[in-house]
């Protein structure tokens, strides 16, 4: 038995989960919020929680504090019990179509892709370097959000702009949430007892960030997020698809000269928050909707965009066999699931309303009797997928020796 860390370094936080492998038992999970009074919260054991407020000024201190806490709480007696570390990396561009063991070359390439995810890749690269320094014995693996979507064909990933922009600058659709989609699609096939390669599946990853992915023969053939995660369906604070000319128009009207400021508006002030004027959280909007027309409108638009993408992807695959809801909203909001499914009856997709109400943050089949299309709810587990990748590459490295 070995212990593997899954690391998710965000723009202002360090999140992690510790697993016992190969049993896949989660031992603990934690988060350090660097910009909010440096709060640390760790869940472990049987509903045990450790919290502290510690002065942490940078990611090096955050990593050091995390490693100290692992020992303090007895989660490891010695750090060398942790033999592998998997890092979530947002952007892999066209360089990475699969998880990879990190060496100096790979780390440099992750840094070079910073323009594709400026808020994430630089921080992720810094954290990788810190862990490599502090735990040099551990196998470090990068798992990319974009890699699962590298199976898309040019007809689906290219934009209708001068082709040389793709050749020179790598401008194309890359997508996101690939690790999540890879996990839930495999889990869906296992639940149904069918080979993934024989299924036409649409995964609805609905959370603060949302995306819709079409999977055929076990591979991603199209996904709603594009060059960056701002495009696609309406999200918590992201706009989703907009006419690009709107950006220039609004910049003139708002007297904005820095395009990054406009992109920030589309990323952080739009979506459910921008439409409702209340909140980016579906739970808040569902509560407010009966008395607040804009809250209802925000939910209507959210559902509308999901339904449009599902319909488009069903057409692209000449039908669909399985629909999957996952992530925070997809797993928890039976109301959103019911509203989406109301519009998909024409596909032969119907749900059992009682099962739908009873299924919350657990895997479940909510398909109505007689429906041609299976509809599942599957909690995502990107961290488990990451540590599985670490184990797989560790075994490959051992066999190569």
Domains of the chain: 2-144 (3.30.420.40), 192-382 (3.30.420.40)
- pTM of the predicted protein model: 0.91
Measured in degrees and rounded to the nearest 5, phi and psi for residue 400 equal -75, -20
Q: How confident is the model over 34-68, as pLDDT tens digits?
A: 766 678 899 998 889 998 887 888 889 899 999 99
Rg for the chain (alpha carbons), in Å?
A: 21
* 51 annotated as a binding-site residue: no
**What span, in angstroms and rounded, lies between the C-alpha atoms of 357 and 368?**
13
Q: How confident is the model over 110-153, as pLDDT tens digits?
A: 999 988 887 788 889 999 999 999 999 999 999 999 999 999 99
What would the two tokens of residue 314 be?
């069903």
**For residue 229, what pLDDT band results from cuts at 50, 70 and 90?**
confident
* 332 annotated as a binding-site residue: yes
* 193 annotated as a binding-site residue: no
Among the residue ranges 50-54, 156-160, 349-353, the one predicted with the least confidence is 50-54
> Cβ distance 344 to 142 under 8 Å?
no
Q: How confident is the model over 1-32, as pLDDT tens digits?
A: 789 999 998 877 889 999 999 999 999 999 98
| Residue 145 annotated among the catalytic residues of the structure | yes
Mean pLDDT of 371-396: 93
* 232 annotated as a binding-site residue: no
* 206 annotated as a binding-site residue: yes
In the set 33, 69, 145, 222, the catalytic residue is: 145
Q: Residue 201 pLDDT more than 90? A: yes
Residue 175 Ramachandran class (φ > 0 left, ψ -120 to 50 alpha, else beta): left
Q: Is the dihedral of CA 7, 361, 308, 266 positive or negative?
A: negative
**What span, in angstroms and rounded, lies between the C-alpha atoms of 142 and 8?**
11
* 30 annotated as a binding-site residue: no
Sorted by sequence, the CB contacts under 8 Å of residue 135 that are 6+ apart come out as: 67, 79, 82, 85
* 208 annotated as a binding-site residue: yes
**What span, in angstroms and rounded, lies between the C-alpha atoms of 250 and 259?**
10
């Amino acid at each position: 038995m070995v212990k593997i860390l899954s690391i998710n370094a965000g723009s202002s936080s360090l999140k992690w989960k510790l697993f016992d492998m190969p049993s896949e038992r989660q031992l603990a999970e934690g988060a350090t919020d660097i910009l909010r009074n440096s709060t640390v919260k760790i869940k472990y054991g049987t509903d045990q929680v450790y919290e502290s407020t510690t002065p942490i000024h940078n990611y090096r201190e955050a990593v050091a504090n995390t490693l100290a806490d692992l020992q303090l709480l007895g989660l490891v007696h010695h750090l060398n019990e942790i033999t592998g570390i998997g890092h979530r990396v947002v952007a892999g561009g066209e360089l990475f179509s699969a998880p990879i063991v990190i060496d100096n070359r790979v780390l440099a390439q992750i840094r070079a892709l910073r323009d594709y995810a400026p808020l994430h890749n630089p921080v992720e690269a810094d954290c990788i370097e810190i862990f490599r320094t502090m735990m040099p014995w551990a196998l470090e693996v990068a798992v990319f959000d974009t890699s699962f979507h590298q199976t898309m064909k040019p007809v689906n990933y290219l934009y209708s702009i001068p082709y040389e922009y793709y050749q020179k600058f790598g401008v194309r659709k890359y997508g996101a949430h690939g690790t999540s989609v890879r996990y839930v699609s495999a889990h869906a096939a296992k639940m149904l007892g069918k080979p993934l390669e024989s299924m036409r599946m649409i995964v609805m990853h609905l959370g603060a960030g949302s995306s819709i992915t079409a999977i055929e023969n076990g591979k991603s053939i199209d996904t709603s997020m594009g060059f960056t995660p701002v495009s696609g369906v309406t999200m918590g604070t992201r706009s989703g698809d907009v006419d690009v000319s709107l950006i220039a128009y609004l910049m003139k009207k708002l007297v904005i000269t820095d395009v990054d400021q406009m992109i920030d508006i589309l990323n952080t002030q739009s979506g459910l928050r921008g439409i409702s004027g209340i909140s980016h959280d579906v739970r808040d909007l569902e509560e407010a909707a009966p008395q607040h027309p804009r809250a209802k409108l925000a939910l209507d638009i959210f559902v509308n965009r999901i339904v449009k993408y599902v319909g488009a992807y069903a057409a692209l695959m000449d039908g669909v066999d399985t629909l999957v809801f996952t992530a925070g909203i997809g797993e928890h909001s039976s109301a959103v699931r019911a509203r989406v499914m109301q519009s998909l009856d024409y596909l032969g997709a119907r749900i059992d309303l009682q099962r739908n109400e009873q299924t919350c943050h657990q895997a479940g089949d909510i398909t109505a009797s007689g429906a041609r299309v299976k509809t599942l709810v599957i909690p995502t587990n990107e961290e488990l997928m990451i540590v599985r990748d670490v184990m797989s590459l560790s075994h490959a490295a051992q066999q190569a020796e």
